[in-house]
A and B are shown apart, each in its own frame.
Chain A
Amino acid sequence: MSATPILPNGRVLRYSFQERLVHWLAALSYIYLMLTGLAFWSPWLFWIAVLFGGGTVSRELHPWAGLIFVIATFKMYEMWGRQMHETELDKEFWRAVPHYIRNEDELVPSADRFNAGQKFLFWGFFWCGILLLLSGLILWFPHLIPWNLRYLRYFAVIVHPAAALLSIGLFIIHVYMGTAMERGSFGAVIRGDVSVGWAKRYHRIWYEHLLRNIATRK
């Protein structure tokens, strides 16, 4: 976080360079994982593997991309884990979710740096990532699993696609909200800043906290 949250252009710094870098490392690796994973998911989507250099190449690279995703996810946990703990405010937010969905934002309690929905997505991705890592390691080296531990493989073949499907559900919601629904969010994770109005509408508590920090430093 830079010294001052209000940038010279009058906007508010929301995500530092490191946060944006880690986010996009996770995002790009996830998109590759999702597409190659879908190729193995259904014969009707196997053509996606052809676009990425063929089935063999996709199978070879998918686990490596998975490692990148997992590293980025753990880094996110390190950066944001503490800010993602549930608070009393989150319960109010969940009660107001129908208003949020209907874009009646004046009826939605304002949030700290992350609102309850963002926390839900974060933990959803985090735990899906853990399940995908554990099952993925087994699927990466199935030939190293001895026959008397074959139940590990049986576990992996069902857990991996199930966790992937859950994460795809989160991904659809995350991408839709971050691009089409909540204007300004995409810019926040690309350039790092948001308008003051955006900060006050969606994350007023966070914004006021930033302002108080400036005041005490003066």
Chain B
Amino acid sequence: MSQASTEIIRISGHAGSVPGAGLDREFQVCKLVDTTTCIGCKACEVACLEWNGYTFSETTFDNSYQTMPETAWNYWNLIKFNEHEDPDHGLMLLMRKDQCMHCAEPGCLIACPADGAIVQYANGIVDFQEANCIGCGYCMSGCPFNIPKFSPTARKVFKCTLCNDRVSQGLEPACIKACPTGCLHFGTKSEMKELAETRATQLRDQSGFANAGVYDPAGVGGTHVIYVLHDAKNPEAYGGLPKDPHVPWTVRLWKMPLKWLGNIAIIGGVLGVFVHYLRFGPKPIPPDEENPPQAGVLRQESAPPERGKR
């Protein structure tokens, strides 16, 4: 941990206390998206494209403000828009900034078979190393948020990096920098969690959103992108945010019990035939007849069976 070399434990010949000693420095970063103050301006989308060197993609019209159906391999950050009829609040225009959630228990990483293609840093960022990606797309099956996207030209998979390149230099992610309403925040996980809870309380107590809450799903061990929602009981309304996301059980089954069962079965099978060979050996070579028949000629003495059933 490079930052650890700036933390001082003891100082020689120093009077008084050591500055910063006993400080609990948190390395876990977090992005907070407050959907209640998002206006859907898409400045975050543009900032993301600019920083990561992509150009704007073609949009599709589907009778709403939704510009394209989902994120793409070269479009990592997309506002999901939904007209939602709420019994208490009438028509609500729900905006949610969709991007990688940077799960503590990343399904993409669990499913990936390529050495070093996906890494999870101590600060919580889950990043793809495209140089090691083999393009199998298993990460797409492991992710409960529909985030990793395959590039048909590069034949590799891409997704939001949480601006790992910026964050490692002490900067905030590009999307955060661009947000004009302050609905995006970036900081440590505990700070963001606290800020989010404060906002949710405010929404519950002062704005009449009784179900307001924070989205930090436990099914994937918590995420490093968290949301404040007007209605935390219905995250699906926010452009299909899963209510209780999990790494798919088939991926779990494949990576744990089946893996061990399979390994034992393969090794057992190879050992089994080897032991059989040691115990019984090859089948005795059947005696050829003393006078093998001529080509195409039926020899009476060889036709009747010596034993066995007809």
Could you list which residues of chain A lie within 8 angstroms of chain B, going by C-beta atoms? Answer: 3-4, 6-8, 10-11, 39-43, 46, 49, 54-56, 58-60, 92, 101-103, 105-106, 109-110, 139, 142-143, 147, 150, 153-158, 161-162, 165, 168-169, 172-173, 176, 180-184, 195-198, 200-202, 204, 208, 211, 214-215, 218
Interface string of B139-150 (1 = CB under 8 A from A): 011000010011
Q: A143 near B137 (CB under 8 angstroms)?
A: yes
Q: B286 near A147 (CB under 8 angstroms)?
A: no
Q: A103 near B281 (CB under 8 angstroms)?
A: yes
- The residues of B that contact A158 with a CB separation of less than 8 Å are 250-251, 253-254, 258
How far does the Cβ of A166 sit from chain B's closest Cβ, in whole Å? 9
Task: Judge whether B202 is part of the interface by a CB distance below 8 angstroms.
Answer: no
Q: A169 near B265 (CB under 8 angstroms)?
A: yes
Total number of B residues with any Cβ neighbor in A under 8 Å:
61
Q: How far is the CA of A155 from the CA of B277 in the complex (A)?
A: 38
Q: A154 near B141 (CB under 8 angstroms)?
A: yes
Task: Return the chain A residue nearest B150 by Cβ.
Answer: A143
Given contacts A43-B115, A58-B134, contact A204 B288 (CB under 8 A): no
Task: Return the chain B residue nearest A145 by Cβ.
Answer: B140
Interface string of B240-280 (1 = CB under 8 A from A): 00000000111101100011011101100110110011001
Q: How far is the CA of A158 from the CA of B258 in the complex (A)?
A: 9
- The residues of A that contact B209 with a CB separation of less than 8 Å are none
Q: Is the interface of B mostly helix, strand, loop or mixed?
A: loop
Q: A40 near B136 (CB under 8 angstroms)?
A: yes
User: Nearest 7 pairs between A and B by C-beta?
Assistant: A10-B292, A55-B134, A142-B137, A143-B150, A197-B286, A201-B286, A158-B250
How far does the Cβ of B251 sit from chain A's closest Cβ, in whole Å? 6
Task: Judge whether B114 is part of the interface by a CB distance below 8 angstroms.
Answer: yes
Q: B303 near A211 (CB under 8 angstroms)?
A: yes
Q: How far is the CA of A40 from the CA of B253 in the complex (A)?
A: 16
Interface-side segment among B9-17, B29-37, B163-171, B294-302: B294-302
Given contacts A143-B140, A211-B298, contact A46 B113 (CB under 8 A): yes
Task: Judge whether B287 is part of the interface by a CB distance below 8 angstroms.
Answer: yes
Q: How far is the CA of A213 from the CA of B295 in the complex (A)?
A: 14
Which of B136, B253, B285, B297 counts the most chain A CB atoms within 10 A? B136
Cβ-neighbour of A195 out of B146, B152, B286 (below 8 A): B286
Q: A157 near B251 (CB under 8 angstroms)?
A: yes
- The residues of B that contact A3 with a CB separation of less than 8 Å are 296
Cβ-neighbour of B285 out of A39, A156, A165, A184 (below 8 A): A184
Given contacts A41-B113, A157-B138, 16 further A-B contacts (CB under 8 A): A4-B295, A10-B295, A41-B262, A42-B263, A46-B115, A49-B134, A109-B309, A142-B141, A143-B137, A143-B150, A161-B258, A161-B262, A165-B262, A176-B276, A181-B283, A196-B292
Q: A183 near B253 (CB under 8 angstroms)?
A: no
Q: B137 near A172 (CB under 8 angstroms)?
A: no
- The residues of A that contact B273 with a CB separation of less than 8 Å are 172-173, 176, 180-181
- The residues of A that contact B141 with a CB separation of less than 8 Å are 142, 150, 153-154, 156-157
Given contacts A103-B284, A168-B269, A204-B305, contact A10 B293 (CB under 8 A): yes
Given contacts A143-B137, A183-B285, contact A165 B266 (CB under 8 A): yes
Which of A142, A198, A215 counts the most chain B CB atoms within 10 A? A142
Which of A4, A6, A11, A183 counts the most chain B CB atoms within 10 A? A6
8 residue pairs A–B, Cβ–Cβ below 8 Å: A40-B113, A56-B133, A101-B276, A103-B280, A109-B309, A142-B141, A198-B285, A211-B303
- The residues of B that contact A8 with a CB separation of less than 8 Å are 295
Q: How far is the CA of A172 from the CA of B251 in the complex (A)?
A: 26
Q: A181 near B277 (CB under 8 angstroms)?
A: yes
Cβ-neighbour of A197 out of B149, B289, B308 (below 8 A): B289
Q: How far is the CA of A56 from the CA of B136 in the complex (A)?
A: 8
Which of B111, B150, B266, B302 counts the most chain A CB atoms within 10 A? B266
Interface string of B187-199 (1 = CB under 8 A from A): 0000000000000
Task: Return the chain B residue nearest A147 by Cβ.
Answer: B146
Q: How far is the CA of A134 from the CA of B137 in the complex (A)?
A: 16
Given contacts A58-B134, A169-B269, contact A208 B286 (CB under 8 A): no
- The residues of A that contact B308 with a CB separation of less than 8 Å are 109-110, 204
Task: Return the chain B residue nearest A54 by Cβ.
Answer: B134
Cβ-neighbour of A208 out of B138, B285, B303 (below 8 A): B303
